[in-house]
Amino acid sequence: MRNLIYIILLLVNYVGYSCSCNPYRLMEQQQREMQSECIFIGKVIKVNDDLTYKIQVVESLDGGDVQDNIYIGQNWKTCYPYIEENGFWLFYGRIVDGFFKVNRCGLSRPFDHPFASLSDSDEVQKLSRKLDSENLVEKEADIIFKQMQLMDLANEIKALRRRRDSYLRPNKIN
């Protein structure tokens, strides 16, 4: 009986701390991420061994983050996205107990490896057809796949800038 109780406690702890992310289409993920407290392009300038990292805001994409502001971020222990190296990122997150936290299973991603679900945009679909139709070696396919990811990231940032600018621009009365 005692062993059964230990097993149940271990399972409860595992389920409580594990992270499973449901696959969503890019557009659905983007709509969920619009509810974020903080949306910005940031530069990870330091990563520490204790799950923390330092980010400098490069550009606010929701109008709420001050350029050059420094956040101390904290990785989730068992969930991605996980920040582990310096570089530029698109961040979606919030402040929790004084730390910046990316949204679990969210769209925060680095510019050099911007992995996310692919969009249905014409540009991405054209490259997708190229991937399907040609006998490419793995390296060529990886390059095309990364181009698709970069296109989606660039389009997402453009859309976020338009959204921010429409909120920040005062209504004109004709």
Pull the structure tokens for residue 122: 């014409």
Q: For 50-81, write each residue's pLDDT tens digit.
A: 999 999 999 999 999 999 999 999 998 888 89
Cα separation, 154 vs 95, whole angstroms: 25
Q: For 97-113, write each residue's pLDDT tens digit.
A: 999 999 999 999 999 99
pTM of the complete model beyond 0.85: no
Q: For 122-157, write each residue's pLDDT tens digit.
A: 988 888 888 887 777 888 889 999 999 999 999 999
Q: In 3D, which of 105, 53, 44, 100 has the Cα closest to residue 78?
A: 105
* Segment holding 110, helix H or strand E: strand 109-110
Distances in Å between the Cα of 92 and the Cα atoms of 38, 46, 96, 102, 158 are: 6, 18, 13, 6, 15
One-letter amino acid at 30 equals: Q
Q: Using 50, 70 and 90 to split pLDDT, how confident is the model at 15? A: very low
Cα separation, 14 vs 20, whole angstroms: 12
In this prediction, residue 140 carries a pLDDT of 87
What domains, with CATH codes, occur in the chain? 21-168 (2.40.50)
Backbone angles phi, psi at 100, to 5 degrees: -75, 130
